[in-house]
Structure 1
Amino acid sequence: MSHADDSHQPGRRRFLATAATAATVAATATAPVASAHRVLSNPAADDSDIVPFWGDYQAGIATPQQGHVYFAAFDLTTDKRDDVIAMLRAWTDASARMTQGQPAAPLNDDLSTEAADSGEAVGLSPHRLTLTFGFGPGFFATKDGVDRFGVGKHRPQALVDLPRFNGDQLVAERTGGDVCVQACADDPQVAFHAVRQLTRLAYASAKLRWAQPGFLAAQKDKGTPRNLMGFKDGTMNPPINSPAMMNQYVWAGDEADWMKQGSYLVARPIRIALEHWDRMKLGFQEQVMGRHKDTGAPLGSKNEKDGLNLDANDADGNPLIPDNSHVRLGAPAVNDGAQILRRSYSYDNGLSFTAERWPPWRQAMEFDAGLLFLCYQKDPRTGFIKIFENMSKFDMMNQFVTHIGGGVFACPPGVKQGGYIGQPLFEMA
């Protein structure tokens, strides 16, 4: 073939040049990859930044609350029991590493190996990262009359489907899930990175259904954090440092053997009509809450931790703490002693179009912001459901908040080193 003929074949020339370049890259690839291996190895984390992953109880329940959360619910896409176990094993191994400040899997210098970690948390400490896992009702469901994972008969009686409460406006795309992951850390990138890695590891067996990041206001005095309504949130929590109180209200009992030392999680994203709330006078806001905004004390009291005096009346004979105030309707005294461990976070998703539920029925772009309500309990039937049944009907706060999604999950006990998440359940089945 002549030189002139060759000039009419630029594709062949590009191919040959590309092939030569590829050969050169392949011959020298080991050096840059080895360098990347060194760069992507995290330094040893300080002990104060590490919350142990292994233990009798899952971390992230009785752990002092971190500054950020990334909550995600997944639908299982496989019908194979072995696939689910393999996914839970991979999640366990990755979680144990990430909570130590290490990548989700050991980084490998072999170019043919799938990327082990996306790398955005490289150089960051674990920032007290905790990963808490739960199984939703769908995990135990049958498909086409078949118990797809062989665990249906071990669904705990306490893992009930939540009833539809008064005022619920649940969005299907933000409700439910077969499995959930609650990632909490003092750095938002660390929390997101953890869920991102778990999502990658679950690619062949599960897909994301819904997710919600959230944050807490930093409290210099380590006091009760405030929500976006400006009030302290979580004052009535049972003390996490009291084993007796945690056993009474939070840790699951013997009803389902595989759940002993586990807990039940109710997650509810709650949108708050901030524009509406912000136009209310302080006195009215305090009547809605039943607490003073500055101190968090019950109305008529001075200190946040003062007990609720539900029998106290004002000069006109009206209850100091209104009958339909948020704090009264949530009090153990009016709910047969029911208590839950609140672990909620504020969220801000920017703006979205909203048609208001209250006069003057405005339709506009408004803050898509609110509260990711997370609560743990011994039994949802005597915990969240018991408390919220009345609140959903009578709470004055309902004119400002809307429950738009969520789910209920059985969070198994902690993992012993060498085991995997939910192992006692699969050993029973």
Structure 2
Amino acid sequence: MTGDTADTGDKGTGGAPAPSRRALLGWGGAGLALGAAAAGGAVAAVRSGEGTEPAVDSGAAVPFHGAHQAGIATAVQDRLHFAAFDVTTGDRAELAALLKEWTRAAERMTAGRAVGEGAYGGAAEAPPDDTGEALGLRPSRLTLTIGFGPSLFARDRFGLEDRRPEALVDLPKFPGDNLDSARSGGDLCVQACADDPQVAVHAIRNLARIGMGRTAIRWSQLGFGKTSSTTPGSQTPRNMMGFKDGTRNISGTDDAALRKHVWAGAKDGAGWMAGGSYLVARRIRMHIETWDRAPLQEQEDIFGRDKGEGAPVGKAKERDEPFLKAMLPTAHVRLAHPDTNDGATILRRGYSFTDGTDGLGRLDAGLFFLAYQRDVRTGFIPVQRSLAASDALNEYIQHVGSAVFAVPPGVRDTDDWWGRALFS
């Protein structure tokens, strides 16, 4: 789980309504309390692609344009809808045209506006340009972040094989992996994060509708209750095991750390990726019922933190510098720490998930792990190798889905579009 690495006013906005009952309810019982907290108007810092915006409430809009895509260093929202797509057209020009259309739609949706001419008022004989379920809702800090998978660069597809970045490597098979191909891979991905679940779902639904005939959703994942934070001053969230997670995450305002560990540089081997990043997505199922029967001391030894405060072993406060040698050699915090992995550091944006039961009465729940880094080879891979080899937590978790994507730089202005530099 790598837990310790470090002017609305267009159609569909309707002013600034109070949080809806749907936002309070969220996606079912598991997200009830979390949805209520998110809808409570909490103040949060909104970071755009080029800097930190003034503090705003959770219904505000995050700027879409910037040097970097929003949704990476941006203050983490409470809800997620992540989708991986297969490209079904073989025409390079059609793919580029789709990315332009998606960009224009993303610009409008992140500003709280309807797509195209909107969900009503157009020709009665034609489908509306927008699906309409976000009418009257605020932007809810919606961010849309796109990535390109290794398969997009395959030979004899779009002529992009020579443009594949060296850092976009296929992940090795780690010990204990039980990956489902139906929940892995993808030519494209879109990460939609927002404080209202319906806003996030609306965004992915519209992009899928626009892409029909050119793309198809390969798999998707809903998430709630962020399990990490890019705003260190806020309270550290807890994962489904009840432990605080991502305490040592990179701050979204730490520009030096972001340059060092997250943003790809012009000299990193693929010029079109300068200002971008690399995303690893892993669906990690937790064996909840087994974990819930484990003694408290065992749980704390496994993580290397106490369950109440979240302090490292032998320390008093959550953010105290951990003394790794005081922990068991198999402790999760110790094995995930940069000092154990030659300084390997990633930026986490993970979410909890619950997807019903598995037919045997066991909860299908866990962590949808999202990690951004400058290079997968020096970020996720060494950390996961360390964890897969001897992490005591492996008895209670299993990686069942996996994907890696090159996340291009941000869209600079209204003439730019997602992936433009790749196709230039």
User: 1:43 maps to which residue?
Assistant: 14
Q: Is the 8 A contact 2:65 2:410 kept in 1?
A: yes
Shift of 1:39: 11
User: 1:139 maps to which residue?
Assistant: 152
Normalising by structure 1, we get a TM-score of: 0.83
Counterparts in 2 of 1:104 and 1:406: CA distance versus 1, 3 Å = farther
Q: 1:391 aligns with which of 357, 372, 387?
A: 387
CA distance in 2 between counterparts of 1:423 and 1:192 reads 26
CA distance in 1 between counterparts of 2:76 and 2:215 reads 28
**SS of the residue aligned with 1:216?**
strand
- Per-residue CA deviations over 1:16-52 (Å, capped at 9, x if unaligned) read xxxxxxxxxxxxxxxxxxxxxx996432569751001
Query: Whose radius of gyration is greater, 1 or 2?
Result: 1
CA distance in 2 between counterparts of 1:376 and 1:217 reads 15
**SS of the residue aligned with 1:109?**
coil
Q: 2:354 aligns with which of 348, 351, 363?
A: 348
Counterparts in 2 of 1:41 and 1:188: CA distance versus 1, 3 Å = closer
Matched, 1:79 2:90: yes
Q: How does 1:154-169 map to 2 (within 5 A)?
A: 154-169=163-178
Matched, 1:264 2:275: no
Shift of 1:106: 2.0
Matched, 1:299 2:307: no
User: 2:364 maps to which residue?
Assistant: 368
Shift of 1:420: 0.7
Shift of 1:185: 0.1
**SS of the residue aligned with 2:362?**
strand
CA distance in 2 between counterparts of 1:44 and 1:176 reads 40
**1:295 corresponds to which letter in structure 2?**
E
User: 1:402 maps to which residue?
Assistant: 398
CA distance in 2 between counterparts of 1:86 and 1:383 reads 33
Q: 1:242 aligns with which of 245, 251, 254?
A: 254
Shift of 1:310: 2.0
CA distance in 2 between counterparts of 1:98 and 1:113 reads 21
Q: Is the 8 A contact 1:40 1:119 kept in 2?
A: no
Moved more, 47-56 or 59-68: 47-56
- Per-residue CA deviations over 1:55-110 (Å, capped at 9, x if unaligned) read 11000000010000000000110110111111101110100000011112222522
User: 1:335 maps to which residue?
Assistant: 341
CA distance in 1 between counterparts of 2:350 and 2:318 reads 18
Q: Is the 8 A contact 2:12 2:137 kept in 1?
A: no
User: 2:136 maps to which residue?
Assistant: 123
Q: Is the 8 A contact 2:85 2:219 kept in 1?
A: yes
- Per-residue CA deviations over 1:277-310 (Å, capped at 9, x if unaligned) read 0001111100000011111111100111111212
CA distance in 2 between counterparts of 1:247 and 1:67 reads 25
**SS of the residue aligned with 1:365?**
coil
Q: CA RMSD in A?
A: 1.8
Matched, 1:91 2:102: yes
CA distance in 1 between counterparts of 2:202 and 2:402 reads 22
Q: Give unpaired runs (5+ residues) of structure 2.
A: 1-8, 18-55
- Per-residue CA deviations over 1:248-303 (Å, capped at 9, x if unaligned) read 11111222111011000000010000000000111110000001111111110011
**1:283 corresponds to which letter in structure 2?**
Q
Q: Is the 8 A contact 1:44 1:101 kept in 2?
A: no
Q: 2:377 aligns with which of 360, 365, 381?
A: 381
CA distance in 1 between counterparts of 2:88 and 2:98 reads 12
CA distance in 2 between counterparts of 1:389 and 1:44 reads 50
CA distance in 2 between counterparts of 1:350 and 1:98 reads 30
Counterparts in 2 of 1:174 and 1:297: CA distance versus 1, 3 Å = same
CA distance in 2 between counterparts of 1:310 and 1:263 reads 29
Q: 1:186 aligns with which of 195, 212, 223?
A: 195
Shift of 1:113: 3.3
Query: Which segments of structure 1 move beyond 4 Å, counting only runs of 4 or more?
Result: 44-48
User: 2:221 maps to which residue?
Assistant: 212
**SS of the residue aligned with 1:397?**
helix
Shift of 1:379: 0.4
Q: 2:123 aligns with which of 86, 106, 110?
A: 110
User: 2:408 maps to which residue?
Assistant: 412
Q: Is the 8 A contact 2:117 2:128 kept in 1?
A: no
User: 2:28 maps to which residue?
Assistant: none
CA distance in 1 between counterparts of 2:110 and 2:127 reads 22
Aligned pairs, number: 367
User: Sequence identity, in percent?
Assistant: 49
Matched, 1:290 2:286: no
User: 2:292 maps to which residue?
Assistant: 278
Counterparts in 2 of 1:71 and 1:217: CA distance versus 1, 3 Å = closer
- Per-residue CA deviations over 1:340-374 (Å, capped at 9, x if unaligned) read 00110000001113xxxxxxxxxx32000000000
CA distance in 1 between counterparts of 2:132 and 2:369 reads 30
User: 2:419 maps to which residue?
Assistant: 422
**2:163 corresponds to which letter in structure 1?**
H
**SS of the residue aligned with 1:75?**
strand
Counterparts in 2 of 1:293 and 1:323: CA distance versus 1, 3 Å = same
**2:411 corresponds to which letter in structure 1?**
V
CA distance in 2 between counterparts of 1:114 and 1:204 reads 16
